[in-house]
């Protein structure tokens, strides 16, 4: 007997909740409840959109699939991301990611061991913090 799970195509794309995002963000869950205890989401940020500061109890892997964006850890300079880049985020590292002002930004967000919790959401990234990412 097989222990693999084959899931149908995602049911829908939803707008990211305003309490966790600045600007317009679209989220399509590609893998949710499954035996691997891992979620995979396709996330698209419209130009200038970003998520709040947050962390993940078990870390996160980002795989950039389109556009240009930023990734920043608290206390560190922002890094520019482009299609093909990957970011391996260690557990409990406070960070944000989002689109540049002039490009969409799409990535796969892979969250392992979500039984530990998916994300700990914190305060929004201020406009000043976002502008500093451009420098």
Q: Running DSSP on this structure, what letter comes out for residue 128? A: H
d(CA 116, CA 59): 10
Q: Is 84 domain-assigned?
A: yes
Tens digit of pLDDT for each residue in 66-88? 999 999 999 999 999 999 999 99
Q: What is the largest CA-CA distance in the chain?
A: 56
Per-residue pLDDT tens digits for 2-26: 566 666 666 679 999 999 999 999 9
In a domain? residue 16: no
Residue 17 lies in a domain: no
Single pTM value for the model = 0.88
For residue 19, being part of any structural domain is answered with: no
The Cα 2–Cα 117 span in angstroms is 28
Cβ partners under 8 Å of residue 26, min gap 6: 13, 14, 15, 16, 43, 44
CATH number for the domain including 72?
2.60.120.10
Residue 54 has pLDDT above 60, yes or no: yes
Does residue 9 lie in a domain region?
no
């Amino acid at each position: 007997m097989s222990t693999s799970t084959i899931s149908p195509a995602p049911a829908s794309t939803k707008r990211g909740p305003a309490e966790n995002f600045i600007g317009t963000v679209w989220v399509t869950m590609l893998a949710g409840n499954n035996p691997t205890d891992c979620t995979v989401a396709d996330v698209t940020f419209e130009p200038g959109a970003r998520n709040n500061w947050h962390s993940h109890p078990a870390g996160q892997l980002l795989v950039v699939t389109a556009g240009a964006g930023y990734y920043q850890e608290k206390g560190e300079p922002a890094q520019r991301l482009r299609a093909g880049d990957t970011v391996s985020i260690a557990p409990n590292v406070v960070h944000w990611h989002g689109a540049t002002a002039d490009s969409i930004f799409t990535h796969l967000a892979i969250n392992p061991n979500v039984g530990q919790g998916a994300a700990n959401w914190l305060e929004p990234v201020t406009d000043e913090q976002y502008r500093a990412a451009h420098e």
